[in-house]
Amino acid sequence: MVMSPLNIVILAAGKGTRMVSAKPKVLHELAGKSLLQHVLESAMALQPKQVCVIYGHGGEAVPQAMQQYPTQFVMQEPQLGTGHAVRQAMPHLADDGKTLVLYGDVPLIQHSTLHQMQQAGEGLVLLTVDLDKPTGYGRIVRNAEGDVQRIVEEKDATPELREIKEVNTGILLAPTHELRVWLSQLGNNNAQGEYYLTDIVAMAVEGGVAVHTVQPGQCWEVEGINDKLQLATLERVWQQTNANKLMKQGVTLVDPARLDVRGNLICGRDVEIDVGCIFEGEVSLGDRVRVGAYSIIRSATIGTETQIFPYSHIDQSEVGANCHIGPYARLRPGTKLANEAHVGNFVEIKNSEIGQGSKANHLSYIGDSTVGCRVNIGAGTITCNYDGANKYRTIIGDDAFIGSDTQLVAPVRVGKGATIGAGSTITQDTPEGELTLSRSKQISISGWQRPQKRKK
């Protein structure tokens, strides 16, 4: 089936008073992305000809936050209803093809549902849902044959119409040319004094245009956000959905209710994830990886059989196979660990490569460094990479042994197989296979007494 050219209009002008925030409602985040970003990503997946976002409250904050998307932003001022909002987009849309209307505060609409709407047939397509408690929604009114006749907003509905369970989600797909005509004919003779987009349904019926309905795969796809409670509730729904997918793929989650995926998490076989872990951006966990409790992993690749112990932070890093990380370790952007590397408690690594089998097990900072294979870095070691203006690199050769409490003042190179004595400050390159140390002479002062606290 050949698809008609597609325009997408996203309504994002609402003030969001109930959010009790200076931030525009559509910029509040769910699962690590703004509500509007979720909608835009679903929209872009349909490969539209044009995307138009109607914004209002918050001024330029909305277009500035979404400037990475090829989108037309149009201000709606004043806000006179959904029909008025869509009307603002029409000068930017060509008449050929169809126009899909989405909402910036309905973040979890799925590509599969929108694709189903495209397949529903010619004419007007409405996305509806059946609710046991439809309070607040416009009701879908059908005739005796089951054909859609109109949508009645709850404030304008009779008690009989309010008993209808099928409701309007607001999401619709319409031929662009007909939509333009219908919008020009909208009136505001209703309880709110607004131009309702839903009034186009009766116009379509009167004009003999077919009206189709589609329902989403899950009700949460069409849930809107109006306050922080709804935001938190939908966040947990989405996280539980992610958790269910992971468990069906074979991932062991100690507690599915205590998992946060704020991006895309790809897991191999027999992965185990403890409680309270957060995954952001693009994260890949290899086979048999174990992630300890309350660890945070952002935009990282973790190799097969690596163990990440509790409270570790990994950010924009590459970790090889059979590594041990943590507890309380921090891998900052640009870190690359080869296979079988060990990074222990309270060790921070930044913009550095750590070779196969090398270890930094305690209380160290390794920054802007290249560390060879089978290197042992003692507790309290620091690479002094910054002179107050510029960064410099430290290079440590294979099989070197760095004693505890050593400072390596970059730029400096430690030769292969070299040993650095504990407590040394190294400012010059050290030879291969030799012991290098730099300590002041140890003395004891007879009769010295510690200072005493003065009596008040």
Tell me which residues of the chain have a pLDDT lower than 50.
none
CB 100 within 8 A of CB 8: yes
Cα 449 to the chain's mean position, in Å?
A: 59
Nearest to 242 by CA among 407, 31, 66: 31
Residue bearing tokens 């650095």: 420
Bridge partners, 167 (sequence order): 129, 139
CA gap 93, 71 in Å, rounded: 12
Nearest to 171 by CA among 97, 122, 116, 121: 116
pTM of the full predicted structure?
0.90
CA gap 267, 24 in Å, rounded: 35
CB 30 within 8 A of CB 38: yes
- Give me the pLDDT at residue 1, please: 52
Strand 401-402 to strand 369-371: parallel, antiparallel, or no bridges (unpaired)? unpaired
Residue bearing tokens 């909305």: 62
Query: What 8-state DSSP symbol labels residue 364?
Result: -
DSSP letters, 218-231, are SGGGG----SHHHH
Q: For the chain, how far is it from start to end, CA to CA, in angstroms?
A: 91
DSSP letters, 374-411, are T-EE-TT-EEE-B-SS-B--EEE-TT-EE-TT-EEESS
Cα 240 to the chain's mean position, in Å?
A: 15
CA gap 215, 120 in Å, rounded: 11
CB 137 within 8 A of CB 62: no
Q: Which of 92, 212, 324, 362 is catalytic?
A: 362
Query: What 8-state DSSP symbol labels residue 4?
Result: P
CA gap 268, 283 in Å, rounded: 11
What domains can you pick out in the chain, each with its CATH number?
A: 6-222 (3.90.550.10), 228-436 (2.160.10.10)
Nearest to 133 by CA among 109, 167, 158: 167
Nearest to 46 by CA among 98, 121, 83: 98
In the annotation, is 38 catalytic? no
**187-204, pLDDT tens digit by residue?**
988 778 889 898 999 999
DSSP letters, 22-81, are SS-GGGSEETTEEHHHHHHHHHHTT--SEEEEEEBTBTTHHHHHTTTS--EEEE--S---
